[in-house]
Amino acid sequence: MSVTSMRSLLTYTTDMKVTSRRSLFTHTRDMNVTSMRSLFTHTIDTNVTNRRSLFTHTTDMNVTSRISIFTHTTVMNVTSRRSLLTHATDMNVTSRISLSTHTTVMSVTSMSSLFTHSSDMSVTCRRSLFTQTTDMSVISMISLFTHTTYLNLTSGRSLFTHTTGMNVTNRRFLCTQYRYECDQWKIFIYIKEI
């Protein structure tokens, strides 16, 4: 997926509950399908100039499962994913364990604000969010979950456990730090030299 901008991919998309690629268009309403697990599964070499409004204003998209929304999506070359889930409200997901599982070759310039300001994200377990995500060439992941509000985590110790093939500048090591501020949990990811 060679995309110029995915800033508003899921922006302002409310109540998404879909699984068919047939009606993947803007302003498509009343898409009541069963699952969105394979929405981008095996979607290869989708060259799009602008995907800003891909799901914008798409209403009444009821999705049962978003576990594999990006599963097996290969070759995702994105300039900026800062606002991928920014302001995406009412995302009630039972499990986001495999959100980026098996997503290969994610060449991203900045993922610092991937989940920035994503509100009401009630997650049961996020320990394998990037499990088995290979070939993640990232310049900066310092603030990956910074300022992510309402993160209800059962266990956060294994956030990046078993993450293989993470190519970070200067062989750096990602560490997580959890802090409770202003009646909410905030996750701070900092870089420590090995």
Q: How many other β-carbons are positioned within 10 Å of the β-carbon of residue 152? A: 11
User: Which among 109, 80, 3, 6 has a CA at the least distance from the CA of 46?
Assistant: 3
What is the model's pLDDT at position 123?
A: 33
Percentage of the chain exceeding pLDDT 70: 0
- Spans of all domains in the chain: 36-43+66-194
| CB-count exposure of residue 177 (10 Å: 0-12, 13-18, 19+) | exposed
DSSP state of 46: -
Give tens-digit pLDDT for 98-157: 233 322 223 333 333 333 323 323 333 333 233 322 333 333 333 233 322 223 333 333
Q: Indicate the SS3 state at residue 170.
A: helix
Q: What is the DSSP letter of 17?
A: B
